[in-house]
Chain A
């Protein structure tokens, strides 16, 4: 295949023409550039200390290295060694270890990542499970500014902050009772870093089929770590399904 392009636009047009089937997933192209140069530029900016203190905030000092790690542009060994040269690196190395862990589990169970690893720890009050991802979620039309914002960013850019992935997965699985596999497929299709190891096993962690309890959140938590940017403009701010205590949410969702 061709190796010389005069511009990114020419490359994009070529890829579209050579792989026409990819248009089924949309026409968006991420601003995130592939390649070692872009990866090294990001790696040089990684600040483990700021990462440890701010990573749960959408505006936090996250690394944005995931697509490069997913595709082996950077190795996990290399980013670990780089982190160790900087102060307060324990949390960042621990998070890299999660990726290594998911990979090792994937190596053990292979396509078993698509099946429940364990029984879910709790049963939903409403047992009607949805096998497919509802259209309003995939097309960012739930009316919930946070979830629509996350879905829209995912489809447009191929990126979603890790905390947003957890909130989104929890909403889809526990509030909407969608089979985690359907939501995992949506992520795999659109994330630049989507891989069956980290992605599916993280969904299972949220679903509690690979973890001790279902992952839940509430509005207070989401509002804090998003600096309230979604709640301020949300049409459903007054009937927000997340504006409850954890106890209330637990009782509402589970038997």
Chain B
């Protein structure tokens, strides 16, 4: 298997160390201060930085590296997960807050906290 990583702005940390990685800046209305912050995060990572449309750029990157798999990090963002589906990417949730399995009652935080508290407070 020869994977590449599509890194997105909800997970700027290595999820598959050693695998070639790409990040694509979309034109999504960020302020200069946020763009500079994101860019500084990327400069500390071993990642190719591009701007433009995510799907064609990630596909071209995967082809260039002869990859047979694209891997990306899980996020709750529907837009980013939509791209992951289009790319046919494997989605990994590498380090969740707690490993408790759902479904959860999310009507109010107090109900959620009651459910996960014991696990959250245990190493």
Contact = CB atoms under 8 A, between A and B. Distances in A.
Interface string B88-113: 00000011111000101010010011
A138 B93 CA distance: 37
A104 B113 contact: no
B36 A97 contact: no
A71 B12 contact: yes
Contact of A22 (B30, B73, B106): B30
Interface of A: 1-3, 5, 11-12, 15-16, 18-19, 21-23, 25-30, 32-38, 67, 70-78, 80-81, 84-85, 89-90, 93-94, 96-101, 103-108, 110-111, 157-158, 189-190, 192, 194-197
Contacts of B76: 103-104, 106-107, 197
A29 B33 contact: yes
A32 B31 CA distance: 14
B40 A34 contact: yes
6 contacts: A25-B32, A26-B32, A36-B45, A37-B44, A78-B95, A104-B102
Contacts of B33: 26, 28-30, 157-158, 190, 192
Most chain B Cβ neighbours within 10 Å, of A26, A71, A98, A196: A71
Contact of B113 (A11, A34, A94, A157): A94
A27 B32 CA distance: 6
Tell me the dominant secondary structure on chain A's binding face: helix
Interface residues of B, number: 48
Contacts, number: 163
Interface of B: 9-13, 25, 27, 29-45, 49-51, 73, 75-78, 94-98, 102, 104, 106, 109, 112-113, 116, 120-123
Given A71-B12, A73-B12, A12 B36 contact: yes
Contacts of B75: 72
A93 B121 contact: yes
B32 A73 contact: no
Nearest 10 CB-CB pairings of A with B = A34-B40, A72-B11, A107-B76, A75-B95, A77-B95, A25-B31, A100-B97, A76-B97, A34-B41, A34-B37
B32 A12 contact: yes
A18 B116 CA distance: 44
A51 to B, nearest CB: 15
Nearest to A18: B51
B106 A101 contact: yes
A35 B13 contact: no
Contacts of A21: 27, 29
B32 A35 contact: no
B106 A108 contact: yes
B36 A189 contact: no
B71 to A, nearest CB: 15
A12 B39 CA distance: 9
Contacts of A189: 29, 31
A105 B73 CA distance: 18
Contacts of B112: 97, 101, 104
Nearest to B78: A110
Contact of A190 (B12, B31, B42, B73): B31
A70 B44 CA distance: 17
